[in-house]
Amino acid sequence: MMQDPQAVEEAGLKIIDQEAGAHSFHPGQWSVVRQVIHATADFDFAREMVFHPAAVEAGVAAVRFGADIVADTPTVDVGIAKDRLRKYGGTVWCFISDDDVILKSKEVNLPRTAVAMEKAAETSDGSIYAIGNAPAALLHLIRLVKEGKAKPSLIIGVPVGFIGAAEAKEELLSISTPFITCRGRKGGSAVAAAIINALSLLATHS
């Protein structure tokens, strides 16, 4: 049994390439998809992942530029490999537990995840947003983009769930900002983090 983590990952990725078979993704997109499959052991993502045509290039460029990553929840934050991001000056932020976010959420009767998107939009332009859990966060971010109040370099919108997740992801398909998503109910923290990790690997090795 292999013990070296890198060897285990490489062996897993080879299995994914073999079992997935033919697909229509270009090499950069496939690097992202296979990383998601590796994180979830779910080959459905080979059929459900959707990319804006410029998404991978925009994400890699943003990582290399040192763009910050905005995570909707701490579970996305902890899954991101931060060493590669730090190499370029990038930091991961998650504002959901900030005192000002909690207070404003109560005042305006909005979910904390949505208010956290507002804070992120006010903090910096050009961030990569990684939303793996909260459909409300994704919908609010889309609204902020349409209103010109948020200017992400890339939106990773993969919230998981039965209420609103699929609908929020379909709404994401309607905007011109580069995005990576997956249709349907599946998604989650591991998926969002895997996408970021795939992009940082591409930034480092391509």
Query: Among all residues, which ones are annotated catalytic?
Result: 38
Q: How far is CA 194 from CA 25, 159, 176, in A?
A: 17, 13, 23
Query: Terminal CA-to-CA distance of the chain, rounded, Å?
Result: 30
DSSP β-ladder status, 49-51 and 92-93: unpaired
Which residues, other chains included, contact 178 with Cβ-Cβ below 8 Å and sequence gap of 6+?
52, 54, 55, 58, 59, 153, 154, 155
Q: How far is CA 168 from CA 39, 122, 160, 171, 183, in A?
A: 23, 22, 10, 5, 10
